[in-house]
C-alpha cells in the first residue's frame, strides 16, 4: 500500500560529537579546527534535525575529511595488540565520521565502511571485559546500519541494526544508563518503523510503537526537550502508518494526539520553530488520512483549515518538498469536501 508522507525528527548524535572532540584532541594545533566551522551555521536551517542521525550541525565537510584522514593515520601507527582499547576507540570515532560523510553524500559505500569500522572495534571489545565500550559500539553500529538499510531499502541490513541495538541494551539499563537506554529505545523505534515500511508489516510497526513508549517513560521536557519532542513526533509517525495499514481510525487518532504532544513540547521548550511546523504538518496529514478513512466532513474541514494556515503563515519554515506536500494534501482534502458537497 501507499503510506502517507510524514516527517521524522532526529535527536542529537552524541557519539558523533564525541568523535569530533576526539579528533580535536589529536590535532597538534588546537586552533586549527576553528577554520572548519561552517560559515552558514548562524543561518536559519529548516532541515536541522531532519536529515538523519549523523548531522554534524556546526561543522563543515572540511572538518569531517580532515578528521577521517587523522583517524586513518592514527590507526596506521597504533598497534591493536599493544593498545587494543585505543585502537578500538579510533575505529569508533572513524566510523562516526565516515557515517557523517556518508549522510552528506548519500553514499552507501561510506556507510558500509562505517559499519566495517565499528565491527573492527568489536573485534577487541567484549561484553564481559569492556561492557560500556562494547555497548556504545553496538549502538554506533546499529545507527550506521540503520542509515545504510534506509538508503538501500535493505531489510537484512535493518535487521542487523535491530540486533546491534538489542545487544547494547544487554548492558545499558533504564536504572543505571538512562540517557543511553532511552536513545537506544528511540533508535529501535526508528529502525522498526523503517523496516515495517519495507515489509508492510503491522507487527514490526507495533514493535516500533512499544520502543518509543519505552523511551517516553524516562524523558522529560526540562532535561530532554528535543528528545521528548522527537519521540512523540516519531511515535505519531509510526502510529500514523499503522493506522493506515490496519485501516484503524483509533490508531490515526492516537497518532494525532502524539503529534500534538510533540508540537506542544516544541513550542513550550522553544525548540527550532520549523520542528513545531513539521509536527503540525504531520498532524494535519494524519487528520486528512482519518477524514478519508471515516468519510468525516468535520475532520476534513479541520485538516483543510490547518493546511491553509501552514501554507499561508509558516511558508518561511517549510522545506520545499514539505511545502509541496502541504499543497497536495490541501488539494486532496478540498477535493473530498467538494465531492461531499455534490452528494
Does the pLDDT at position 209 exceed 70?
Answer: yes
**Biggest distance spanned by C-alpha atoms of the chain:** 80
Is pLDDT of 343 > 80? no
Written as nine digits, the cell of 202 is: 503491522
State what percent of residues in the chain have pLDDT above 70.
94
User: pLDDT value at position 37?
Assistant: 54
Does pTM surpass 0.85?
Answer: yes
pLDDT digits (tens, 9 = 90+) for 128-141: 999 999 999 999 99
Angle between helices 202-216 and 178-199 (to 10 degrees): 160
Residue 33 has pLDDT above 70, yes or no: no
Domains in the chain, CATH or no CATH each: 1-206 (1.25.40), 219-343 (1.25.40)
What is the SS3 assignment for 4-47?
Answer: CCCCCCCCCCHHHHHHHHHHHHHCCCCCHHHHHECCCCCCCCCC
Per-residue pLDDT, 29: 61
The cell numbers describing 312, all together, are 499561508
Q: What's the rounded Cα separation, in Å, for the pair 325 and 54?
A: 25
Residues 6+ apart with CB under 8 A from 327: 307, 311
Q: Cβ–Cβ contacts within 10 Å for residue 316, how many?
A: 10
For 160, the enclosing helix (H) or strand (E) is helix 155-168
* pLDDT tens, position by position, 210-241: 999 999 999 999 999 999 999 999 999 999 99
Amino acid at each position: 500500500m501507499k503510506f502517507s508522507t510524514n516527517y521524522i525528527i532526529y535527536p542529537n548524535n552524541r557519539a558523533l560529537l564525541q568523535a569530533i572532540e576526539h579528533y580535536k584532541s589529536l590535532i597538534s594545533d588546537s586552533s586549527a579546527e576553528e577554520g572548519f566551522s561552517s560559515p552558514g551555521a548562524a543561518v536559519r536551517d529548516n532541515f536541522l534535525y531532519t536529515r538523519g542521525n549523523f548531522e554534524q550541525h556546526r561543522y563543515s565537510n572540511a572538518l569531517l575529511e580532515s578528521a577521517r584522514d587523522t583517524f586513518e593515520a592514527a590507526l596506521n601507527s597504533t598497534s591493536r595488540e599493544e593498545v587494543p582499547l585505543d585502537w578500538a576507540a579510533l575505529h569508533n570515532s572513524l566510523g562516526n565520521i565516515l557515517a557523517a560523510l556518508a549522510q552528506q553524500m548519500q553514499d552507501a559505500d561510506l556507510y558500509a565502511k562505517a559499519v566495517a569500522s565499528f565491527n573492527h572495534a568489536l573485534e577487541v571489545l567484549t561484553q564481559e571485559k569492556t561492557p560500556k565500550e562494547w555497548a556504545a559500539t553496538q549502538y554506533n553500529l546499529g545507527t550506521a546500519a540503520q542509515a545504510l538499510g534506509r538508503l538501500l531499502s535493505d531489510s537484512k541490513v535493518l535487521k542487523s541494526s535491530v540486533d546491534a541495538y538489542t545487544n547494547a541494551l544487554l548492558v545499558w539499563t533504564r536504572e543505571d544508563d538512562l540517557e543511553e537506554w532511552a536513545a537506544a529505545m528511540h533508535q529501535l523505534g526508528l529502525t522498526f518503523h523503517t523496516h515495517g515500511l519495507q515489509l508492510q508489516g503491522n507487527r514490526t510497526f507495533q514493535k516500533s510503537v512499544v520502543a518509543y513508549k519505552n523511551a517516553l517513560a524516562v524523558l522529560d521536557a526540562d532535561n530532554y526537550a528535543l528528545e521528548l519532542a522527537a519521540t512523540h513526533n516519531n511515535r505519531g509517525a509510526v502510529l500514523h502508518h499503522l493506522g493506515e495499514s490496519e485501516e484503524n481510525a483509533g490508531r490515526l487518532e492516537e497518532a494525532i494526539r502524539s503529534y500534538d504532544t510533540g508540537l506542544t513540547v516544541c513550542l513550550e521548550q522553544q525548540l527550532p520553530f520549523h520542528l513545531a511546523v513539521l509536527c503540525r504538518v504531520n498532524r494535519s496529514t494524519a487528520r486528512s488520512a482519518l477524514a478519508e478513512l471515516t468519510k468525516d466532513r468535520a475532520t476534513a474541514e479541520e485538516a483543510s483549515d490547518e493546511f491553509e494556515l501552514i501554507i499561508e503563515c509558516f511558508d518561511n519554515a517549510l522545506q520545499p518538498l514539505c511545502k509541496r506536500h502541504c499543497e497536495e494534501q490541501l488539494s486532496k482534502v478540498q477535493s473530498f469536501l467538494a465531492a461531499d458537497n455534490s452528494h
